[in-house]
Amino acid sequence: MKENNLDKCIRVNFKMVDNEIAAASCMSLFVVFCIMTLWLSVLAIVPLIVTFVYLFKMYKKLFYTSVYGETAVTYQSMPASAAEMTAAKIFVAGIGNIICVVTYIVVIAAFLFFLGGSSVSGLIANIQKIVTDLSADGGIAAYTLVLAMVALIASTFMQSALIFLAVVAYQSVVREEKKGLYRFLIITGAYVINQLLGRSGTLLEKLGIDSLIIPAVIGIVLSIVVMVVCYRKTVKLLEEKYEWG
């Protein structure tokens, strides 16, 4: 398959933050190891903080430094549209987050693999046991896990889009004298939207909708809608500011 402009943007952005993603993933690995080793569990807070620091650095490089910071001129001289660059940044940020989560899952799967006698059937049996217990104790049907996985991925990309929009909106609309107020409003707005989406299941439960599938589906749809809205708004703001594309 031939590489188009979007692919090139993704490649460039990924190159930009590959060290941060690798470092955050390694630190995630240490978090799981610390938690699994009982006497080290208290120390898990240290690699956890380092993970967040590297994720923050990743976001900063992707959404600020390469758009408004010292490397902005280099990246904006690329023959790519604002839409392509925005999509690539949101995609890479989302993938960076997902890689950290996958690290957790791989370590836990490896643990279950060895627990199950180092066999795939043992691994599957252990996973099925966990799912059975979840199903039985918490009333969680096994297939909702697939929906939960999609919801998690969708919300990850949505969060990236939301953060990018917040950064771009702040840089675009803020006037010097009201910087503090705008910063407060944008951060609070992004946090509230994220929390509302993350807790849609709880809200639905309070409204009397007792279902495990509906909140997951609504969560996926809302995440995609918010992501698209954020993406379009971000592109518009970038085009207005730089007369991009």
Partner 1 sequence: MKGNLNILKSKFIMIFLAILLVCMGLMASLFFVQGDTIVYSQEQMEELIGPAAESVFAVGLYDDIRIADAEKGIFLVRSVSTGENYEPGFRLVNEKGETLYESLGTRVIDRAGKNFTLKYGDGVLFLNTERTLETGEPPKPYDSVQLSSDYVLLRKDGTAQVHDLDGNLLYSSHAHIKLSGKAGYVIEEDIDGFYHIVNMNTGETEYTAPEGIVIMGYSGGMWLLDSHNEFEDIDIIWSYGYLLDDEYNITADSGIISGWNLGGESSADYMSVQQELAVNYENRQEIGKNGRKRIRVYSHGNLVYDAVPETRYEGTNGSHIRYIKGDILATSGYNETIIDYIDLTTGETVIADSEIFSFMDLEDGIAAACICNKNQNTDSRSGSFLTNENKMKDYSWGFVDEELNPLTGFTFDGAYPTENGYAVIVKDGCKGLIRLKGVS
Decide if residue 37 touches partner 1 (CB under 8 A): no
Decide if residue 189 touches partner 1 (CB under 8 A): no
Size of the site for partner 1 (CB under 8 A): 43
Decide if residue 230 touches partner 1 (CB under 8 A): no
Is 146 within 8 Å of 132 (Cβ atoms)?
A: no
3-state secondary structure of 79: coil
| Piece in contact with partner 1 (CB under 8 A), picked from 64-72, 140-148, 204-212, 214-222 | 140-148
Assigned token pair, 100 = 């950290």
**Residues with Cβ < 8 Å from 180, sequence gap 6 or more?**
none
Q: How far is 134 from 144, CA to CA, in rounded Å?
A: 11
Decide if residue 220 touches partner 1 (CB under 8 A): no
Q: According to CB under 8 A, which residues from 153 to 182 bind partner 1?
A: 153
Is 13 within 8 Å of 62 (Cβ atoms)?
A: yes
Query: What DSSP designation does 68 have?
Result: T
3-state secondary structure of 78: coil
* From 17, 95, 220, 230, residue interacting with partner 1 (rule: CB under 8 A): 95
Q: Using CB under 8 A as the criterion, which residues of the chain lie in contact with partner 1 when the complex forms?
A: 1-4, 6-7, 10-11, 81-84, 87, 91, 95, 115-117, 121-122, 124-125, 127-128, 131-133, 135-137, 142-143, 145-146, 149-150, 153, 231-232, 235-236, 239, 245
